[in-house]
Amino acid sequence: MKKGSLMNLAQRILPAFPGVVKHVPPPLKAVAIEPTNVCNLRCTICNSQCPSLYPVRKKGYMKWEEYKNIIDELAQLPHRISLGLNFGGEGLIHPEFCKMLEYAASLKKFNLGFHTNGLLLNSEVISTIMKTQVDRISISLDGLREKHEAIRVHSNFEKVEANIIHLLEARNQHGSKLNLSVNLTVSNHTDQEIEEFINYWVKRVSQVCIYPYETEDLEILQPENFFDQPTIQRNFCSNPFFYMAILWNGDVTTCCDDIAGRNFMGNVHKKGVRAIWKGKSYSQLRLAALKKEFHPKSACYKCDAWKKVFVENSRIIKGKDMKVTYSGLAKIYEHVSTVPAN
């Protein structure tokens, strides 16, 4: 059954059984842990710079013992977790980031990755990535050279590119299976700038991912560029059924797009991960997601990101050596030496 069809089926059936939604939580499959919400850039497209949202969150760093307690609890779950060490800031700024990677990897319970702006990918970090066999890394670039530096204020394209080259060299030397992607979020880019970005990177990295821009209310601008048949009527969101984000101070939110932490579910230092996942706040949000009825102050109220669930993954051939996959909100470009006929 296709992903969108499965979600539609769940939306029709589950509201008739609120007791199931309330008392039988689904398995937690993906967790983001925010080492810090401090960042070394001031990107023009980042909602963390939105003055109406972000000042409510103090800046800080997760303490080692608190991080270790979270990881230990997640490792007790009976299934493997997709774990990302990033959320609202630049995780590599945390002075114990490498130690965090090493500890999570040592338990062999996680599919491990992180997102970064690439400025701090130094030799120590790259060595740790190879040693811990990190599964995936995504690097936000948002353009080439001048475009990159205009959007990602305080960045340096040449330095980031050099860091990526060093990471690729290390991957080759160690025979690593690291999936390395570079990302561009479409804002004021021309079609030519986007095409140049794709062509510049697609033969060098695992994937080039092109994302739509989301406003501070999580509304997608120009959705027609990312959805062949944009869903007009609001539909079901799956995030509360598999995902949790833990902020640096232990607060929990429900969505990778809610960097302001508006969907507060509780604090793991007071309740623990499993208690929050099984708790009243999460179950109420799951019912709200099924009924498509959200409180006006919820991050979900105007959100468009739920549409990613209803994008049927499809492969489009472009030229002789590139494939494009629609996956969620992203257009993913990959270089291939040979492309099978449709």
Q: What is the pLDDT along the chain (342 residues), one digit of tens a residue?
A: 444 444 454 545 555 455 556 667 889 999 999 999 999 998 888 876 555 555 567 899 999 999 999 999 999 999 999 999 999 899 999 999 999 999 999 999 999 999 999 999 999 999 999 999 999 999 999 999 999 999 999 999 999 999 999 999 999 999 999 999 999 999 888 889 999 999 999 999 999 999 888 777 777 776 666 665 555 555 667 889 899 999 999 999 998 888 888 899 999 999 999 999 999 999 888 888 887 788 887 888 878 776 665 555 555 555 668 888 877 678 899 998 754 444
Cα–Cα distance measured from residue 181 to residue 276, given in angstroms and rounded to the nearest whole number: 32
Cα–Cα distance measured from residue 8 to residue 18, given in angstroms and rounded to the nearest whole number: 17
What does the pLDDT read at residue 2? 47
What does the pLDDT read at residue 315? 53
Cα–Cα distance measured from residue 40 to residue 46, given in angstroms and rounded to the nearest whole number: 13
Contact yes or no for 309/320 (Cβ under 8 A): no
Strands of the sheet containing 315-317, edge to edge, are: 266-267, 251-253, 243-246, 30-33, 81-84, 110-116, 136-140, 179-185, 207-211, 330-335, 322-327, 315-317
What does the pLDDT read at residue 129? 98
Cα–Cα distance measured from residue 151 to residue 143, given in angstroms and rounded to the nearest whole number: 8
Dihedral (C-alpha) 316, 205, 137, 262: value to the nearest 10 degrees?
-50
Radius of gyration over every alpha carbon of the chain, rounded to an integer in angstroms = 20
Cα–Cα distance measured from residue 10 to residue 29, given in angstroms and rounded to the nearest whole number: 18
What does the pLDDT read at residue 259? 86
Residue 173 neighbours by CB distance under 10 Å = 9
Cα–Cα distance measured from residue 337 to residue 329, given in angstroms and rounded to the nearest whole number: 26
Residue 338: what residue type?
T
Cα–Cα distance measured from residue 151 to residue 157, given in angstroms and rounded to the nearest whole number: 11
Cα–Cα distance measured from residue 336 to residue 341, given in angstroms and rounded to the nearest whole number: 13
